[in-house]
Amino acid sequence: MQNPELGAIQERFACIVWDHEPISSGELAKLCETELGWKRPTTYTVLRKLCEKGLLQNREGIVTSLVSRESYYSEKSGQIIDESYQGSLPAFVAAFISRNTISAEEVEEIQRMIDAFRKEGEG
């Protein structure tokens, strides 16, 4: 899957859709006015652009996503690892934990994920 490149504002807009979908375009415009301070034409312009990029769709006034939040961020994370760490997940993790503290609970959660991945590979 090739995710569209989104700017920060477009990404915030997509998050609003992901949080509330399916949502009417009118209700989306009201949410964007409240959360982003946008006028209705701005909402419809950004919506149109994200529909053209293939991230969202607006069918009969109902807005839904064509790419899930999970898929979008998974692809985006992979691109960051590929571009900044030559595709090395261990290099990314090492860089991340050298600058950020992770809790014992987070370590356990990561370990559970690794264990589940290993188990799937055996099955």
For the chain, the domains span 8-69, 88-123
Query: Per-residue pLDDT tens for 60-81?
Result: 999 999 999 999 999 999 999 9
10, 46 Cβ separation under 8 angstroms: yes
Q: pTM of the full predicted structure?
A: 0.78
What percent helix, strand, coil does the chain show, rounded to 5? 70, 10, 25
* Assigned fold of 8-69: Arc Repressor Mutant, subunit A (1.10.10)
Radius of gyration from C-alpha coordinates of the chain: 18
Q: Kindly give the interhelix angle for 25-36 and 40-52, rounded to the nearest 10 degrees.
A: 110
What integer pLDDT is reported at residue 2 of this predicted model?
63
